[in-house]
Structure 1
Amino acid sequence: MADDRPRLRIGGEIRPVPLDPEKAAAWLADLRKAAGAKELPKLDAFLGRGGPDVDALAAILDLSTHLNAEMLQHPEWLEALFGEDARARIDALIGRAAHLDGPELGEAAMMAELRRIKRETCLLIALRDLFGASTVAETTADLSALAEAAIGAAMRFCIAEAHRAGKLKLPHPDEPERGCGIFVLGMGKLGAGELNYSSDVDLIVFFDAASGICTDPGEQVDVFSRLVRRLVRMIGERTADGYVFRTDLRLRPDPGAMPLAISTDAAMTYYEGSGRNWERAAMIKARPVAGDRAAGEAFLQELTPFVWRRYLDFAAIADIQAMKSRIDEHRGFDDIAVAGHNVKLGRGGIREVEFFVQAQQLIAGGRSPALRQRRTDRALAALTAGGWIAADTERDLSDDYWFLRRIEHCIQMVADAQTHTLPDDPDGLERIARLAGFEDRAAFSTALLERLHRVDRHFTRLFNDGRDRDADAPPQGGFERLLSTDDDPESLARLAELGYARPADIARIVRSWNYGRYRATRSEAARERLAKVMPMLLTAFADARDPDAAIAAFDTFLAGLPAGIQFFSLIGSNPRILDLLALIITSSPMLTETMAARPHVFDALLDPAFFDEVPDRDLMAERLAPFLADAQGYEDVLARLRIFASEQRFLVGARLLSGVVDVGEAGPAFSNIADVVLEATLAAVSDAFAERHGRVPGARVALLGMGRLGSRELTAGSDVDLILLYDHDTDAEESDGEKKLPAKVYFARLTQRLIAALTAPMREGVLYEVDFRLRPSGNMGPLATHIDRFRRYQEVEAWTWERMALTRSRPVAGDPALRGIVAATIESLLAAPRDPAEVSRDVASMRARIEREKPPKGSLDLKLRPGGLIDLEFLAQWALLTGRAPLDLVGHPTADVLAAADLGEAADSIDADLPGTMRCFTAVIQVLRLGPGGVGDVSELPPGLRERLARTIGAESADRIEPQLAAEAAATRRAFEALLPLQEAEAEPAGAAATRQR
């Protein structure tokens, strides 16, 4: 038979056990008396019947003096749970708090009602928590929603009262918050929606001085500050009814000097000029919780560049670690324990999980908006999704975080005290264990210690703070005096032991870093961080092929580094990256120079996907879009484009050097970067240009990539060959902006602006060197070309070499429809009938002329040497122009064209693998572009690059590189002569294959 007797509708499967059964029984009797006194028949009958739920209530009465007092004083709150589920009742109470009518109630009555709602809601939240009916995440969310509702109602009352008193003139008196310009940011756990059971609420109140609601603008700071005091009193003052939430305003900018209400302009000035990393960390969780929320969201958006930096910010790790160390020193947290341990601030505690998350958010959140999560568990999930942490790390820390948060709640539920420290006596610990649902103190201690140690391990691994050094880590001994003592025997012995051939010379170089002669080591903070990473640096460079030369190369790099704090913080936090740094510095002058000039490019190596992927165009565009979305104006867009492009190019180069990617992927990867960046740059330039000059009706613009960009064969140092094509309405004569321009002038100046945007030397460097000389009529023609003019020129005036150039072209940016028209136009132009013999003579004649006028500079000049890249590229272009290769390969890599080419009967006499040689030579060029410029022979390359080059072409050793390349080139030249005889071309009249130098 169904049991239809009244039951408390709390739910859950946990039933706490009392510390003292006799006391629990006595408290239960007292509760039943209170129910009888208030004529609560259902509760009276329920308590008299007994059972597991009743026993659990008795246990809570025994274990928590705070909950005991609430239930005995207000048994009616339990009575209500026979007719309404606790979950629904909590929602209803929060909803009532949010919509209290202040003017109707009056201030005193409203304060009393808010306190009554808070106490009943918190009792129900606690019961659901202790019964296991809610997760800890739900508990914190409910507490946060309650606080937000109460603060919102009190703020609305204060604003409306100020309006009625004539201090404010609200634009919408019936909706006081709307458009008023004053707002409250919830910080910390309130902002994250993770409030503690007995937490205070961290608030900052700002106002927009431009809102104009203060009747006396000269008094607005005082008016708004008095309003804040009233708000704090309504929420935080302890009355006969208790309090709603204790409030804390100390997270506001410079709390010792700033007023309680701060203008947004003053706040922005402070944050931009004096804001510190801990304030950035605090703003991660900031959220508008009351007042003009739209103004609050706008303020946070404006604050984005302060919180989320354009560069990966590894100095934040050191600052957050220092903050944690200061907490440890101040509080005396040295060891992990149970009795007396602070589960928030102690080792392995809640704060370490939060710091673990926030440090990585500050490091990478500027580049990865997905990491900008307020809640700790969601931020952990985002870090996992982005590859910053492993899935098991997220699982560990998320589980541990919520476990510790539940223990924190149990500690606070005992007496409603804002404490996070476990009792240090056995009975006190037993009380917490029972509230948390454990059988006894021993089981609780085992579970807690396991969690604390696991959090500590993850925290220590991230911050590398020396708590648990690996056994094989380089010892500090022997290096301690290296930066300050001349010829210290212990230091020199340690250097020799590591493998340095000239320890005294190395010691002298290292010691010079501490003199502050370099910009990177000029500050005391930089030198301190250098000293901390010194053992790792020396150990990493000792593994190089020539350790002494590696240190000398690093010294050169350090001399050019503009600042050191970020760099030393980065390598200190990521010791494994040092091996790659050593490889780059000893092998690739180009990448090293890039790092020295723009150290932020090294951030690219910290991308979790470094070893896993080479992003395609769509993925890069997806990553670039949110990075540009935070830009503050046109100049910042250009700066961010330079950062993105330089990092991505550096990333491909480093992958190429380290062998992470196949060399054949480099050309498409560099080309994808250019495509995405050119698309974004063209859009930014067009929008900025239109602000003053408007737009030509029906205007469409497309960028045509030529040369290596067009065939997707860019290298690390390639410039980009471009033609800008446009179209517009046939009757359009000028633009429609403030300063109108004739159509032709408009597009010419737009192109000039584009060239400037790409080539201007900003602090972040140059985006791309560009070449527009392949446009119709070369340097003599207009910078921008109408699509119809382009078509007519190519049909009537173009020379053979210009049609050859079109075979390595593709639209890379601009209006999609016009890009389609351009592609179709080029295909039709190349498909037009032409005399194959004349094309062959022209191609051969051009190759002969280039060979005569531009001889190769050495064995590694694979572009100009006979049988080199020009031979192979000309053969592919000739195949496309004469129908020997399909035109759908226009704009594809040369090797693909050669692989598809039908060379006819002559193919039988060719002993060269033309596609294979093209891939080989392209790979060599890709590797060489990472090295020093102007190198003609293998002997001039750095040793590391020689080895990488030998591996690239499958040579047994570096000595075999030149003979192997020579054999490939000789076979290619024989094939070229068989197909396009140079001697016959030389006999042709000069006019048959004349070319114009542009």
Structure 2
Amino acid sequence: MNETVMKRLSDVADGVIRPFNQTELKSALSLLKDAGKQQPALAALLAGESPLKSFVAAALSLSPYLRDMALLDPATLVRALDEPLEPLLKGFVADARDAWRGEEGGPPATEAQVMTRLRAAKRKLSFLTALADLARIFDARDTTRWLSEMADACVAAAIDHLLLAGEQSGKLKLANPQAPALGSGLIVLGMGKLGACELNYSSDIDLVVFFETDAGILVSPEDATETYGRMMRRLVRILQDRTGDGYVFRTDLRLRPDPGATPLAVPVEAALLYYESRGQNWERAAFIKARPVAGDLKAGEGFLRELVPFVFRKYLDYAAIADIHSIKRQIHVHKGHGAIAVKGHNVKLGRGGIREIEFFAQTQQLIAGGRMPELRLRPTEAALQALTAANWIDATTRDELIEAYWFLRDVEHRIQMVRDEQTHLLPETESELRRIAFMAGFADTGSFSARLESVLKTVEKRYARLFEQEEVLSSASGNLVFTGQKGDPDTLRTLESLGFERPEDISRVIRTWHYGRYRATQSVEARERLTELTPQLLMTFGESRRADEALLRFDNFLAGLPAGIQLFSLLTSNPALLDLIVSIMSSAPRLAEIIARRPHVFDGMLDPGLMVELPTRDYLARRLSSFVGGSRHYEEILDRLRIFAAEQRFLIGIRLLTGSIGGVLAGHAFTDLAGLIIEHALKAVIAEVEAVHGKVAGGRVALAGMGKLGSFELTAGSDVDLILLYEHDDDAGESDGAKPLDPVRYYTRLTQRLIAALSAPTGEGVLYEVDMRLRPSGNKGPVATRLKAFEKYQFEEAWTWEHMALTRARLIAGDAELMDATRAVIAAVLAKPREEAKTASDVAEMRTMIDKEKRPKGIWDLKLIPGGLIDIEFIAQYLALIAKGHGVKAEVNGLSTADALKRLGGELMDPNDLDLCLAALHLLTELSQVIQLCVDGGFDPATAPAGLVDLVCRAGDAPDLKSLEAELRRLTKAVRKVFQAVVK
């Protein structure tokens, strides 16, 4: 038998790795001892001393992940102790490949069974592969091959299961249910490392899915996109959802054509047309490694043959060279491309890393592969060998890069084996770096670091020889002179080359700065700092789209700044802060106006922890308490609240603008901030009213947040919907203060004071616009309502839409007992029996009325468009009203719309419709948050700042606006169908 096949873990050499430390070693031995009570073979191993015992204990001391696997499944470890490894691994791969099959003579496996089987097979193979790798019985080539084989098997099994399920549901008609993928026309390509059979230890897998429309397996061909789209969403769930058994592979489908505008599975004809007409240079590079891994493998090979002219161009013309340099620049500016180091270095994306070796090979494959088919190889080592054979590189370069490639892959595997994390970063600490060094077989971090640095520098040297050095723009590229009354001609040319369209206007603005006409530039020191900063400032603004507009907004900011020395010094030493200011000025006119009008909000941006600390309720509460603490007078408290609210709204917005938080988290933060501010304002108002009018016997209030305030979905520009409820002793008379009032007038006055405190314009601005139309009887009713009256109204007079609004009610401030009583009333109202057909009719009628009275202004009217936010909110509210009648727990108060949908829709909606609504809600939320943050009056692509267009595309995870609008139309159209199906 083949010698490799017969390799066993027991063949491990003595001292191949060292234990992390004595504490971890003892822990590993203790774990093995406990497992040995159930596994005699382990007990026998522990009874003596051997290289195998030393190795296993050392491996488990070095990797918490492997230790957990050994504890979870000691039987697999026992099998590996003396059985040949490769037959074992082949068995695991076979188990995964057959996971879709049922028991002998029985029905096919259920989805839950498939998920469990795949996770078990992947876990066992990963465990034994890691041990064999650490033992040096396998090298990195073996490890990547086995991981790739397992991924192939898992994807293929999941696809077979989904195809068979499609037939069982009546959507598909398969040629052969015993071989579901055969002749199906469903093409699943593995990309990147999966396609090259080079998967790393904790890699995700990149898949691209296409289908042949004429394959004949669709019962309703017109539903192809929807049918296959649902299938792919299930595929992702099967592979990457974490269950009690773990996960299989994180799965990414974003390498498909134009992912922001196309479905998860793309028709072959459409894909070929896209690549022929609009394919990008990075897609050419990606398809070098593409390989059919599941589905109809024959159709997949045919598709790749059709793509050859796109990937490997027949002629090496200037456009092709420009394309290749474009790829180089894209990778060169990647965030991971830092200086060579060891601690914290990114072995994949950093200088001298794996990506440079891969790109070294791929670039030359793209250049010459059209004329030399022998260069069209997927694996990196094979490509380097072929390039040498074709005399594109010499043998020394080939050998150096191959050796470096597998060494770095080894290091990458060890980084990932520690905790099964998808990371490529070496540890920052000496202790954790020692762990990696020991796993790689080195005696200490010094020898490991020396070897790694040598490898990285070798790769960097070879890579640099292949590509010319990029020119870096600097102030030396032209004059920047801002003296005199007119613009210097050379300076104007420099400004134009930097990206400004109106260089004379820009020159005039900067001369204004240097003349000291603003308070921020009046001191000599401030002007000196600004002069030093100006070249970098102009370069950074010049790189933004519509650079002139952005710089003029910055000028407006400077004009209102009380002092400039600190700011200019910070910007000089902190380029990231400068980038942030440019981002605001170029993409967010609303934020730019805020800091120009109230420069003090900028102070919070100087906090080094701004982007690190999340704006949670606890975080905001601590900050607010320290800021307001010590304020005694009513107006002083309110002014402090206004300052704090303005600054924190701005800082939450900055986090959203920079991408450090997303739209959902921003909505929660804006809401938490509003809740805290309103709570403090209510306390101040109550104290102020009591000081003048005294107290009502037994009097107490509770404040309910409604709408987006109730569901944690406020945006930067939201008003707040409130209902104030009160109670008092039944025999209470007038209040006991100097100016007594009867209870109705007392709580009316208190509510009016609260509205004024929140919404009155002052020198420090407005806290929140207040809307109280959701109170009983709306604007016709009293501004404050006694709880008893509220309860009677809700049970006897309220319309369905008022009960819909109640599903988002959340008590945010006031007397604890009254808040509890109010919650009980709301729960009772929402739980009362109701006629489902009548409720559905009322909800549909309400939506129709909104359609007529508030017509959407276009696709970007995200709230009002058919299938937009209102439709999704109405679905959730309708389900909350009918849930009790279906025996479903209906308590959704205090939940976001998404969480309410998850709680209710899981039982009351089709799972695919629920997924669709959640996906649409996520997209609409992300877009709404960014748009509300950056502009007033809605988003108009024709007039929006270019930077905002980029931000909106980023928020929608789309390459361009056209793609994003297509995705919006697709999702909202589908949501409207779901709305009509649910509310019927």
Greater C-alpha radius of gyration = 1
